[in-house]
Amino acid sequence: MELQTLGWNPLFESRFSSLESPGLIPARVAQEHRELYLVFSEVGELSAEVSGRFRHQAGSRADFPSVGDWVAVTARPEEGQATIHAVLPRKSSFSRKAVLGGGSKDGPGKTDEQVLAANVDTVFLVTGLDGNFSLRRMERYIAAAWDSGAEPVIILNKADLCGNLEERTSETETIAVGVPIHAVSAVEQIGLEVLHDYLGVGRTVAFLGSSGVGKSTLINALLGEERQKINPVREFDDKGRHTTTHREMILLPSGGIVIDTPGLREIQLWGDESALTRAFEDIEELASRCRFVDCRHGGEPGCSVQEAVRDGRLSPQRLDSYIRLLKEQKHLQMRKNLVMRRSTERARDRRYKNHKKMLDDLRRKGLR
């Protein structure tokens, strides 16, 4: 495999060169299975594990390799094996909040970052033009995509099943400010040509969406073969079972790269409020004209946002979604700060106990 076809570029070359460690070669993570990885490299596909030193030094879940990551490995191609020693800094990463554990007297459960896909150029946010269609879900996905550093693109799949396509597209345009929108049908092979424009040689596109929206069908259509397993969608609620059970990087015949992901039941945002600024540019622009800088867009006088709701320029549902996500972001930041403070306190207590133990040992030996 040539590195360029895997997405290698001068940015990653410079980051790899800074490691200055002989014997390492670059590889890209194609699959992840509970800390067992499949990586693609110039010497072929390799099964890989992280080194003991890497595991010891990793500070959080997000430090471990994720699908799409570039990693530095020592390869044993004759065995088909490799050891991962480092993850190169990511160009982009699509993440969500993962809460681990239920908390204790020492503080809340651990709030951690789960990286769904790394080093992505474009994120295809796929929704179905059936019972799966939800503007509120799309708003959340758009915010997460902007936060990732990749460019979001909305794919309205199952256009062949939609009797009011123009209306659905117009509704989507009201919440997707500055985001390209493409209506397609993977089953009927309608409108797929435009998707190839995002999939040039070495370009990486991640497919994200809830179960049953047709991500696997779209990828099969781009591959030209039935590689990804497809489950039927339940007729009574248009929901599907999770066909894709793990994240996987797939090389297309055209030279592009796609990352398939399992259907997401929900996505809790991880980043800061800047993602909401991009996802809700229309509300942010209105808010800049409010009388008060700290306007909460409720009952305050001179609120341009509420004025836009009253005269129909802004839907109340979109404003509610914005306020809800803003509160969620603030709560997340408070939780991060609390967890960090508790972690700092525990580290300080450990240092104190270790210092006290050292002094006690010296006293017992009569050296102090």
Checking phi first, is residue 191 left (phi over 0); if not, alpha (psi -120 to 50) or beta? left
The alpha carbon dihedral of 19, 24, 28, 32 has a sign of negative
User: Percentage of residues in the chain with pLDDT exceeding 70?
Assistant: 84
Kind and range of the H or E run holding 354? helix 316-364
Mean pLDDT over 83-112 rounds to 72
**pLDDT number for residue 238:** 46
pLDDT at 55: 92
Residue type, 318: R
Task: List the single range of 37-41, 80-84, 88-92, 299-303 with lowest mean pLDDT.
Answer: 299-303
Compare 237 and 4 and report the one with higher pLDDT: 4
Half-sphere exposure in the Cβ direction for 272 (13 Å, CA) = 2
Among 67-71, 154-158, 359-363, whose mean pLDDT is lowest?
A: 359-363
Closest to 210 in 3D by CA, of 156, 266, 259 = 266
User: Which segments of 71-214 does DSSP mark as H helices, in order?
Assistant: 135-148, 165-175
Strand partners, 249: 259
Residue 114, φ and ψ in degrees, nearest 5? -110, 115
Residue carrying structure tokens 């070359």: 13
Q: Choose the weakest-confidence range: 79-88, 124-133, 343-352.
A: 343-352
> pLDDT tens across 182-222, in order?
999 999 999 999 999 999 999 999 999 988 899 999 999 99
195 exposed, middle or buried (CB, 10 Å; 0-12, 13-18, 19+)?
buried
Residue 233 pLDDT class (50, 70, 90 cuts): very low
Q: What is the pLDDT of residue 52?
A: 94
Residues 6+ apart with CB under 8 A from 53: 85
Distance CA 268, CA 55 (A): 26
Query: Would the pLDDT of 235 be above 50?
Result: no
Q: What is the pLDDT, as a whole number, of residue 331?
A: 72
Read off the pLDDT of each residue in 110-137 and give the average, rounded to a whole number.
89
pLDDT tier, 12 (very low <50, low <70, confident <90, very high otherwise): very high
pLDDT (0 to 100) of residue 41? 97
- Would the pLDDT of 104 be above 70? no
Strand partners, 185: 190
Q: Which domains does the chain have, with CATH numbers?
A: 3-89 (2.40.50.140), 94-260 (3.40.50.300), 280-314 (1.10.40.50)
Tell me what pLDDT residue 83 has.
Answer: 97
Contact 47, 73 (CB under 8 A): no
Beta strands in the chain (DSSP E): 25-33, 36-41, 44-50, 70-76, 81-87, 93-100, 110-118, 122-128, 151-157, 181-183, 204-208, 248-251, 257-260
More confident residue, 184 or 106: 184
Give the mean model confidence (pLDDT) for residues 40-65: 93
What pLDDT was estimated at residue 236?
Answer: 39
Q: Average model confidence (pLDDT) for the chain?
A: 85
- Say whether 338 sits in a helix, a strand or coil: helix
Cα(348)–Cα(368) distance, integer angstroms? 24
Judge whether 102 and 124 are in contact, CB under 8 Å: no
pLDDT score, position 106: 43
Is it the case that residue 43 has pLDDT exceeding 80? yes
Residue 240: the pLDDT is 45
Which one has a higher pLDDT value, 356 or 253?
Answer: 253
Structure tokens that stand for 86 in this block: 């480092």
pTM (2 decimals)?
0.79
Q: How large is the average pLDDT for residues 234-255?
A: 66
